[in-house]
Structure 1
Amino acid sequence: MRLHCLDEVLQGESVSDIQRVLSYRSEFFGTPMSILTQSVLRGPSDWLVGERELFAAFTSALNRCPF
C-alpha cells in the first residue's frame, strides 16, 4: 500500500530500490538505517566526509549497486 502511494505521489517518475526500501515500513528499516548511515558518513572520524563518500561509492560500484 505504501509503495503504491509513493508511486502515485511521484506520478510515473522512476523510484530507486533504496527509496522504496526506506519508505516501506520506515519505522522498522528506513529510520534506523538512515540514522546509521548519517552516523557513519557524517559522524566523528579520522577520514574526511569526502573520503567516506568515495569509499561508499567505490564499494557500491564493486557490488554493482548505484550510489
Structure 2
Amino acid sequence: MPDAAKVVFYRPDFYGVRAKEFTHEAMRGPSAWSVADRELMAAYVSKVSASAFCIGAHTATARRAYGNGPMVDAVLADLESAPIAEPLRATLRMLGTLTTEGELSRDDMRAVLAAGVSREQIEDALAVGAAFAVTDRLADAFGFEVLSPEGFDAGAKYLLKRGYR
C-alpha cells in the first residue's frame, strides 16, 4: 500500500477524514473541469512543487484519465508549447504562479478570465491547488516512497474508480 494511503486510512484523526472529503470534492465533485483536467492540475502543481511522489501519482492518473500520455507529458515538459486549449493553459499558469509565489495579482486573475475561464472554474481549480499544496508538502515531509511506473498505474486505476474517499 502506498504511503499516501497509509497516512489517510491509518491515521484518520491526523489527516484522513477532512483531507479525504476536501480532496474528493475538489477532484471529483461537480465542476466544468473534467476529472482528467483536475488530475492534470494536481500533476502540474506537484511538478511546480517538485513533489516526486505526487508528480508520479497524478501524472499516471491524468495519463489514464485522458487516454493521452504524450499530451500530459508535453504539458509537464513545457506548458507554453503543449497541445492544450488556452483556458486550461491559463489555469495551469495561474496555479503555477500561486504555487511558486504564494499569491495571485489582479492581473493574474484577469488573464485567466480573459482566456475564457469562468469564475466557478477558477474556484474549482484553486480548490485542486489547495488540496495539492498540502498533499505535496506532506508527501515530502513524510518521505513518501516513489513507486514504480506499474505501482503508480495501479494507483491511477484506483483513483479513477474510487476517487479520494
Please classify the TM superposition score into its range, dividing by the shorter chain length. Answer: 0.5 to 0.7
- Read off the aligned partner of 2:48 and give its amino acid letter: L
- Read off the aligned partner of 1:39 and give its amino acid letter: E
Give the structure 1 partner of residue 28 of structure 2.
42
- Read off the aligned partner of 2:39 and give its amino acid letter: E
Q: Give the helix-richer structure, 1 or 2.
A: 2
The Cα of 1:24 is off from its aligned counterpart by: 5.7
1:51 alignment partner, one of 37, 40, 61 = 37
User: What is the TM-score of this pair, normalised by structure 1?
Assistant: 0.63
Give the structure 2 partner of residue 4 of structure 1.
none
- Read off the aligned partner of 1:49 and give its amino acid letter: V
> Any gaps of 5 or more consecutive residues in structure 2?
55-165
The Cα of 1:29 is off from its aligned counterpart by: 1.9
Tell me, in whole angstroms, the C-alpha distance in 1 between the residues paired with 2:23 and 2:32: 17
Identity within the alignment, %: 34
The Cα of 1:22 is off from its aligned counterpart by: 2.4
Number of residues of Structure 1 aligned to a counterpart in Structure 2? 53
The Cα of 1:19 is off from its aligned counterpart by: 3.8
Q: Higher relative CO (CA 8 A, sep ≥ 6), structure 1 or 2?
A: 2
Encode CA deviations 1:18-42: one digit per residue, 9 max, x unaligned: 3454246412421110111100000
Tell me, in whole angstroms, the C-alpha distance in 2 between the residues paired with 1:23 and 1:46: 29
Tell me, in whole angstroms, the C-alpha distance in 2 between the residues paired with 1:19 and 1:45: 25
Tell me, in whole angstroms, the C-alpha distance in 2 between the residues paired with 1:55 and 1:30: 21
Divergent runs of 4+, >3 A: 18-21
- After TM superposition, the structure 1 = structure 2 runs for residues 21-40 of structure 1, keeping only pairs within 5 Å, are 21-23=7-9, 25-40=11-26
- Read off the aligned partner of 2:36 and give its amino acid letter: G
User: What is the TM-score of this pair, normalised by structure 2?
Assistant: 0.29
